[in-house]
Structure 1
């Protein structure tokens, strides 16, 4: 179960295994956002990072308490909007 948080989760504030997973997924989503914003991201790397982040989101959702907050803005946004990481990344792609 995710810890109910009202703070920005950092490596020093993790309280459980699921918090750690949400934090690592948040870090991966930061990489996805950065790669997606590049005009030519490294071949295959964006897809790989999206896949890793989606796996993290799936596991966080599996163990998250409904209505809970994970303290990570990107992870929470994807969960709240019930979208895929691919859809989220599309919004960050450079046109």
Structure 2
């Protein structure tokens, strides 16, 4: 006999202030945003940063610029895996 699976509580972001008072409203994390939404936004920002980093690395003479691309790809994959895991857990 299958046991019912309890409903997962909706995980929301807490309110966190930025370190800079000049740009506080721009960089604050708003409270009550679903974490999956926040992570999906982070994934989009990381993809854009990676795209720009590849452009810079292609023109740079310093091979260390590819380290930035690698790090962005790694964290992008981690965020995407987290989003996918959370979405699968909801089902």
Relative CO higher for 1 or 2, CA cutoff 8 Å, sep ≥ 6? Answer: 1
The question of a shared fold, defined as TM-score above 0.5 by the shorter chain, is answered with: no
Determine which structure has more spread, i.e. the larger CA radius of gyration. Answer: 2
TM-score (norm 1): 0.39
TM-score (norm 2): 0.40
